[in-house]
């Protein structure tokens, strides 16, 4: 097998700067490009500036996914595991547990790097479930000199909360975490997708990203025998890990039972469709096709075998934004379309890790005016983004064409 550097040398590698400051049956893609590497990470340490950070991120996201799988296995038989936030968005013990676990582990390794994350402990403190979260975290946390306590877990959650750190206007370095993106999917007994997403921003630029999706179902027909063999140690429900490093592409491998095992990493590329009506679209579950600008030009169908010239294929996906980024970056979808609705706040953690995975896979992410997403728009907390009109994620081939349609409507 060719070395990782040989593969990188002969394949397209793109880098991105996300600035924080100033019809017939459709195949997965038009052309299939598969580069497989068996290693802890798919590129050499000496050439990847943020190798250690990525290695740590892979480990903690893997542990977080294992926590999710364990909690979900008892979710529908144990009372009290499902909670409700004030805004009526479902949240789980796994949500708090993942944030506590990742916060604890990152703080051990990189204590000077702050964390921007979805949860704070205020609601959890008002319940009798702190011990439940503590047990879930303790089961997956790395060894410590003394047992974890309730205070350790609550403080770890608050390390990523809204009042934990004030950034200011200068470019900043910080982790961005969505403990579970798609909690509605997590709560479904079906195979609805949910994602643990972690990104690192260094001086205003997203440099690495890791997404873990425990119940992602792979297409075995496209896999090599070594990749199929790898699946024998995978977490229940299949599942994949997607990673991206600035300048080194986007890669996936199975969620193995052992995070440090030398899994088979597969290089990811966006699909290569270059005609809008042949592309595969996904949109938020809370929005309808009729509410989006392209509805004036194209109708939608869910039948991949019968897509007319004035139609587009709309994929059924649930839940959350990051699984849509994962689908586009892996070549399963071509476009993710999101409208910024009035009075609805768009959170940075719902998009940051997806943005680098898309670009390193060859795609593009902008707002509806074609402007790159500004992670520093919320100068104080780096928690909110303000994309004009909405967010457009594509394989890059017809990005400008869609922007033109948006501008005309």
Active site residues: 95, 183
For 38, phi then psi, to 5°, come to: -100, 110
Place of tokens 């919320």: 378
Are 28 and 218 a contacting pair, CB within 8 Å? Answer: no
Say how far apart CA 310 and CA 138 lie, in whole Å.
Answer: 54
181 annotated as ligand-binding: yes
Backbone angles phi, psi at 172, to 5 degrees: -125, 160
CA distance to 260, 264, 266, 317, per residue, from 38 (Å): 12, 4, 9, 30
Name which of 212, 160, 219 is nearest 182 in CA terms: 212
The H-or-E segment that residue 202 falls in is strand 195-202
Was 178 annotated as part of a binding site? Answer: yes
Integer Cα distance of 87 and 336 in angstroms: 25
Q: How far apart are CA 296 and CA 343, in angstroms?
A: 24
DSSP-derived secondary structure for 298-364:
-EEES-TT---TTEEEE----S-SHHHHHHHHTTS-SEEEEE--TT-PEEGGGTHHHHHHHHHTT-E
Please tell me whether 180 is known to bind a ligand: yes
Annotated binding site: 118, 178, 180-181, 350
Q: Which residues are annotated as a binding site for Mg(2+)?
A: 118, 178, 180-181, 350
């Amino acid at each position: 097998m060719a070395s990782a550097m040989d593969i990188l040398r002969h394949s397209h590698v793109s880098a991105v700067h996300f600035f924080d400051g100033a019809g017939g049956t459709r195949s997965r893609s038009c052309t299939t490009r598969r580069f497989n590497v068996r290693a802890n990470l798919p590129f050499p340490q000496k050439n990847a500036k943020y190798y250690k950070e990525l290695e740590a991120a892979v480990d903690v996201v893997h542990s977080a996914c294992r926590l999710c799988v364990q909690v979900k296995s008892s979710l529908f038989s144990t009372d009290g595991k499902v909670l409700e936030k004030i805004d009526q968005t479902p949240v789980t013990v796994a949500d708090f547990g993942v944030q506590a676990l990742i916060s604890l582990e990152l703080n051990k390794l990189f204590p000077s790097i702050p964390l921007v994350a979805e949860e704070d402990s205020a609601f959890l403190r008002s319940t009798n479930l702190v011990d439940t979260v503590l047990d879930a975290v303790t089961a997956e946390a790395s060894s410590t000199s003394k047992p974890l306590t309730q205070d350790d877990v609550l403080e770890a959650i608050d390390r990523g909360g809204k009042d934990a750190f004030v950034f200011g206007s200068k470019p900043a370095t910080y982790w961005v975490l969505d403990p579970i993106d798609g909690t509605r999917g997590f709560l479904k007994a079906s195979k609805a997708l949910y994602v643990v997403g972690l990104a690192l921003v260094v001086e205003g630029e997203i440099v690495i990203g890791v997404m873990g999706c425990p119940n992602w179902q792979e297409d075995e027909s496209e896999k090599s025998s070594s990749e199929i063999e790898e699946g024998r140690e995978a977490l229940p429900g299949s599942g994949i890990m997607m990673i991206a490093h600035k300048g080194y592409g986007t890669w996936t491998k199975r969620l193995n039972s052992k995070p440090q095992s030398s899994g088979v990493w597969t290089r990811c590329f966006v699909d290569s469709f270059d005609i809008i009506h042949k592309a595969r679209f996904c949109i938020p579950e809370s929005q309808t096709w009729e509410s989006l600008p392209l509805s004036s030009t194209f109708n939608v169908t869910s039948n991949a075998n019968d897509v007319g010239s004035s139609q587009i294929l709309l994929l059924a996906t649930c839940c959350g934004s990051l699984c849509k980024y994962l689908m586009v970056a892996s070549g399963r979808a071509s476009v993710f379309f999101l409208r910024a609705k009035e009075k609805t706040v768009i959170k940075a953690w719902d998009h940051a890790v997806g943005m680098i995975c898309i670009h390193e896979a060859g795609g593009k992410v902008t707002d509806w005016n074609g402007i790159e997403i500004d992670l520093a728009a919320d100068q104080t907390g780096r928690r909110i983004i303000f994309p004009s009109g909405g967010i457009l994620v594509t394989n890059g081939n017809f990005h400008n064409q869609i922007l033109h349609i948006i501008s005309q409507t």
